[in-house]
Structure 1
Amino acid sequence: MMLSLKTILLSMANQETGVRGYLVSGKDDFLAPYHNGIKDYESSFAQVKELTADNPAQQTRLAALNDRALGWRNDVAEKVIALTRDSKTVEEARAMEARGAGKTYMDGLRGLINEIQDAERSLIIERSAAGKAAVSSSDWISIGGLVGMSAFALIAGFALYRGIAAPIANTTHTMRALADGNLDVAVPFTDLRNELGEMARAVEVFKQNGIKVREMNARESALQAKSADSAIKHGASCFCGGCRRFYPPHFQGLRQCRPQPFRRSGERTGKLRRSRRC
């Protein structure tokens, strides 16, 4: 039961991560943790509910827990997903995330899980104390095994939570960095052979596409700069008399008859005198 409760908490974290990933990237692939988290939650919740069928207090806590989970899904997750699908309302979805719209639901859900776990531990202790005088040595071994298994389940569940939640948080941070234009950020966990690895590899594809676009823009800018430099040099050559070949056919005579500067004042005077004699 303890492991199922941890799985419930982990499944909610996966759902939350999937919604955030979709909000950052806008790609449906990032919703995979959300949909898988819903399946894991429903399966684990059914197991816990069945295991506590003889405990009305636990059933009441589980009903409240389920209300919180469904409330977050309907009032926060589905709304953020719907707003993100429309480019006109994506900023509204981001505003919901920034306000921490789902924090109240998640905090309440974690609190209820802690209450259920504490009640279950207390129940185990009470049952153990009540049968203490009558149990045989074999019974003690069984109880010891039960306690050991419970402790192992708690430790394993906590390790599982820490081992998955932290990588998911790192991947979400990487997606935010890529969305902000930081294409030099490293994408972790691409070598994992699980859903987290698939999500990381999808992020890596997104990063590589961004790098290709950046390189194409850089090459285009370099070509434009080179073209502009050639145009400047060509214009300078024309200004210095190096573009005679561009005279149109009906102006070819001008190329031959451009006025030449007088080299000496005497030449100017002599030409003026000759023009008077004419």
Structure 2
Amino acid sequence: MPNSFGLNRSLGGAIGAIALVSLLSSLALYWTQTQQNDAIEARGRSRQIMSSLDAFRVAMLNQETGLRGYLLTGDDSSLEPYRSGRIALDQTLVDLQRLVTENRTETDLLVQAEDAARHWQTDIGELAVHQMAVSATRDEAVGIEMKGGGKRLFDQFRTRLKAIQDSEEQIFAHQNVVVKAAKRNSLLVLVVGAIITLLICAGMGVAINRLIVQPLVLLAQVMRRLTHRDLDVVVPSIKQRNEVGEMARAVEVFKKGLIELDRTSLLRVTADTLPAMVGYVDHKRRVGFLNNEFSRTFDLGQGDVSEVYGKPLSDVFGSTPFPGARLELETALGGKDTRFEQRLFRPGRPSRDIEAFYRPHRAPNGTVLGVVTLLTDITDRKRMERRLAQQARDLLRSNEELEQFAYVASHDLKAPLRGIENLVSWIEEDLEGVLTGDTQTNMDLLKSRVRRLESLLDDLLAYSRAGRADDQNDAVDTRLVVDELAALVSPPEGFEITADPSLPKLQTPRAPLTQVFQNLIGNAIKHHDRPSVGHVMVAAAPGEGVTEFTVTDDGPGIPDRFFDRVFGMFQTLKPRDEVEGSGMGLAIVKKLIERRGGKVWLSGGEAGRGLKVHFTWPEIALGKHDDTDR
């Protein structure tokens, strides 16, 4: 039996080689990186040691300078460098002892340097300071420093420190060499690993092309010829001892199977796997083929659909006629594709909705030999379509009823509200001169509440109607709209409303966009804490299929935590006794924008003040403004 695992072993070996190269490269990189990191760490330790050695010298020099100043002036404040130098020396010695602990030679040198420094502090520094404090021994104190003992001790610790520094400089230079070598080795490992991997991959590519790709291309050509019933084709690579040869032998088996199967049985095997009714009617209206789906829908009077082959349609489909057996089938036999829907009424069984597609089958010379029929049961789909249509009608009716309810509720409630307002006015007239201050205040509050409720009803009706009957597109100059609104809303004196030159011309419904701008500008004016110097800017930026508008004010702004809340119905952030409003303005804005397929959101202004309202508006841009538009 031919070996069918040659490609597995070859490809597996190549992949294993790549994995091995990758592993070795990774280990080599890890080793070089470890060397480099250790060398970098050693360099850093050398830098710290040399820095601490400098600090050691500076600390001793500061002590010597402070002592000399004190001996010359006798002023105690002159000892400040001396005292700070002692403290700095102690800290520096702690750092140096920690850093050189692993180097025995440097540790010994540091001990000797410290011993010399401590001797200087004890025998020179402390003794001189002590004798200077007594008037009788001040001359002796000056003489201690002048005898030269201090210089000898300074030379001792300087020599030791110099030896430590020379050692660390050699270590630092050596580690520099190690770092450079590690970098060079890392690059070398990467290059060599990449080259080896590329060579293996190139070899794999050549092998795959020769052993797999070319044979598979030939097999694909054979398969295409077999699908065209060219059974004389020779299948290549049958004797190849790998998986491609196994596939070629499978194609050979398939070819032999095609030879053994006739056209009808092959069609049936294929068609019986479909969830639709697939059939063939020849030009004499005889059944050439029916798949098993027909027996589930029609009463064929036979136990197996293969028993009806060759029989006239009228004999096979007796109680329930074949769909479109007259006009549609005749049209298809005339050479034209036909598609239609039909309701099947079956005796003693529920009716079904059928979608049919008939396609002519032609001979090479164009003669129609028959018709391929495809019948699909669409009963469930039709039922769903009817249900969706009914739901759409119900939703439309519900919306109309809701709008009517909102209108009636608003209209019917306004009459008693106006009556209440009139009654309050009459009571005030009847009690004129009698009403006390508190009573008059309560009467004013009652009228204010009535007007507020009437405003709420108006806004509720506006909200229910927002976005309706506004689908007519117009050429809208948004910059001109903002300018018109700036005059329409009548802002307080000193309040500025600016239309940025970025505002475009759009092809969009005018009314809803105008209402959005009006509500946002009006809202900014209403809630501004400094209306006499307030400013609102309306700008735009093009997006993908939308325009993003931004309405920016310099008012008090809104805390971030309320950004989502303000778009709700009847939502206000201040008591309505402070700012008159229904809390519906931004809710209407949100509804108008979302009905157009846009979205709205808030962001904070600059310098902790103001508010930016962003919203997107789908549109067809007509162009940008220039200076001639004004």
Normalising by structure 2, what TM-score? 0.21
Larger radius of gyration: 2
Say which structure is richer in strand: 2
By relative contact order (CA 8 Å, sep 6+), the higher-ranking structure is 1
Say which structure is richer in helix: 1
